[in-house]
Amino acid sequence: MKIARPATAIATNKPIMMKPPGSKTKAQVWVVENGKMRSHFDQLATEEPLEIRLVSPQKTVAVTMRTPGADFELAAGFLYSEGAIRSREDIERISYCVDRDVDGEQRYNIVNVKLREGLSVDLQPLERHFFTTSACGVCGKASLEALRSRSYSVILKGLEVTTEAIYSLPEQLRNAQRVFSTTGGLHAAALFDAEGQLLSVREDVGRHNALDKLIGSAVLSDQVPLNNHIVMVSGRSSFEILQKCLAAGVPIVCAVSAPSSLAVVLAKEFGITLVGFLRGERFNIYAGKERIRIEEA
């Protein structure tokens, strides 16, 4: 698979210096405190649209509002989670779009994905993703029936982890959120091993995007399925958070906040251990409690 590097300059009659959008944007804010107003500059999490296109067949499969950065991982993770690809080998090339009609300008908000020749992709399930928002995820809820039709297997119960390993996840996640520390406006998804050691983390204004970036990183480095790992997300766990983890084979999913009712149903049906309200040395188990090893005092 080829991953095209972003251009830094394009030779034309007037050379155009290309710079990808950053994850943070400076903005002037006015703080009102104790009846007085003062002005200063603050850092905001950047939010811009990203269009994911298939080259052959040529089709836009998703438009999502995201924080720029790890865009190729986001595209790969999205396609993997939706069942369009099964491995890194299914992707022949990922690149940003180059607009030949505008002096070869590189379009950092459009990612082109060329799948391997001969790969058959059912595009109909992807139509519900034509526009997604960073806040609510995909508009148009998927169903358990759709997951059953993809023949996902129940995740085996071999992995067990200690409560101490689970307790350690939130602090590691917070410490690894570099952009959040300066903007206060990003979600994160992190991958841990069975001992609770942090392996990787991705941030984005959207919870679903952060998880797609994390899974996409694993896809592009040939680490899937993630059947001996833990995933933690910074917000709540929705149906689609669980659906993406199921596609990647993740046996344990943890969240800072509550799960949705449909997320719990999915976790129980497909054998995922679902942990919510993980804060300090306390958490709730909504499904798969047999994977959490309680050490007697």
Nearest to 180 by CA among 41, 64, 21, 43: 43
Q: How far apart are CA 270 and CA 156, in angstroms?
A: 9
Does residue 286 register a pLDDT over 50? yes
Does residue 277 register a pLDDT over 60? yes
Each as own residue / partner, the long-range contacts of residues 103-106 (CB below 8 Å, 24 or more positions apart, any chain) are 103/10, 103/12, 103/14, 103/16, 104/10, 104/12, 104/16, 105/10, 105/16, 105/18, 106/6, 106/7, 106/10, 106/18
Does residue 127 register a pLDDT over 50? yes
Q: Looking at per-residue confidence, does 291 or 177 come out higher?
A: 291
Does residue 17 register a pLDDT over 60? no
The enclosing H or E element of 119 equals: none
Does residue 138 register a pLDDT over 50? no
Q: How far apart are CA 20 and CA 161, in angstroms?
A: 40
Q: Looking at per-residue confidence, does 192 or 150 come out higher?
A: 192
Model confidence at 107, pLDDT cuts 50, 70, 90, reads confident
**What is the pLDDT at residue 49?**
84
220 within domain boundaries: yes
Candidate from 57-66, 133-142, 180-189 with smallest mean pLDDT: 133-142
Structure tokens at 205: 């204004």
Does residue 8 register a pLDDT over 60? no
Over the stretch 58-106, which tens digit does the pLDDT of each residue have? 888 888 888 889 999 999 999 999 888 999 999 999 999 876 655 556 6
**What is the pLDDT at residue 102?**
53
Taking the whole predicted model, whether its pTM rises above 0.75 is answered as: yes
CA 86 to each of CA 2, 78, 204, 247: distance values in angstroms, whole numbers, following the listed order: 17, 11, 24, 9
138 within domain boundaries: no
30 within domain boundaries: no
Does residue 12 register a pLDDT over 70? no
**What is the pLDDT at residue 150?**
76
Domain extent, residue 184, equals: 161-293
Structure tokens at 74: 């986001």
Provide the CATH number for the domain around residue 201. 3.40.140.10
Establish whether 136 is a catalytic residue. yes
29 within domain boundaries: no
**What is the pLDDT at residue 11?**
38
Do 179 and 24 contact (CB within 8 A), yes or no? yes
Model confidence at 195, pLDDT cuts 50, 70, 90, reads very high
- Give the number of domains in the chain: 1
126 within domain boundaries: no
Candidates 97, 136, 139, 245; catalytic one? 136
Do 76 and 219 contact (CB within 8 A), yes or no? yes
Spell out the residues 6+ positions from residue 297 whose beta carbon is closer than 8 angstroms to its own.
none
| Cis? peptide before 57, omega within 30° of 0 | yes
| Cis? peptide before 21, omega within 30° of 0 | no
**What is the pLDDT at residue 139?**
34
40 within domain boundaries: no
139 within domain boundaries: no
176 within domain boundaries: yes
Q: Looking at per-residue confidence, does 149 or 118 come out higher?
A: 118
The gap between the terminal CA atoms of the chain, to the nearest Å, is: 51
Do 170 and 279 contact (CB within 8 A), yes or no? yes
Instruction: Tell me which amino acid residue 118 is.
Output: G
